[in-house]
């Protein structure tokens, strides 16, 4: 009969518990379309909205985060993108959030 010592057993369990590392992926946010945004094809839209908020606020040297406003703007962006699926998300932000023509 095979006897396994506790330390060896713990190492065996640990080996099975280790998850394989996820590959790093980079994304050019300027190329994300509204369709990709609303259909979760790149990442969770909330994560993209947070990145966009940081990007545009950084351009304005604004270090204040208003979570309520961020959620409202993300909802506006999502609704706009549903109707304008071929537009890039950054173009949509400029139209619906920043008010560019």
Q: What is the pLDDT of residues 9-62, one digit of tens each?
A: 666 666 666 666 666 788 899 999 999 999 999 999 999 999 999 999 999 999
The Cα–Cα gap between 85 and 65 comes to 28
Model pTM greater than 0.85? no
* CA-only gyration radius of the chain, Å: 22
pLDDT at residue 11, rounded to an integer? 64
The Cα–Cα gap between 63 and 76 comes to 22
The Cα–Cα gap between 80 and 75 comes to 9
Give Cβ neighbours of residue 90 (< 8 Å, ≥ 6 apart): 29, 30, 32, 52
* Cα dist from 80 to 15, 53, 70, 84, 96, whole Å: 47, 16, 15, 6, 7
pLDDT at residue 19, rounded to an integer? 61
pLDDT at residue 23, rounded to an integer? 67
CATH 1.10.10, applies to 25-96: no
């Amino acid at each position: 009969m095979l006897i396994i010592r506790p330390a060896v057993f713990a190492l065996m369990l640990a080996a099975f518990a280790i998850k394989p590392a996820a590959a790093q992926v980079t994304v050019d946010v300027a190329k994300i379309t509204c369709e990709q945004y609303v259909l979760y094809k790149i990442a969770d839209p909330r994560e993209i909205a947070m990145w966009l908020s940081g990007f545009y606020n950084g351009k304005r040297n604004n270090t204040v985060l208003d979570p309520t406003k961020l959620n409202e703007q993300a909802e506006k962006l999502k609704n706009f993108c549903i109707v304008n699926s071929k537009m890039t998300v950054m173009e949509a932000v400029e139209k619906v959030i920043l008010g560019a023509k």
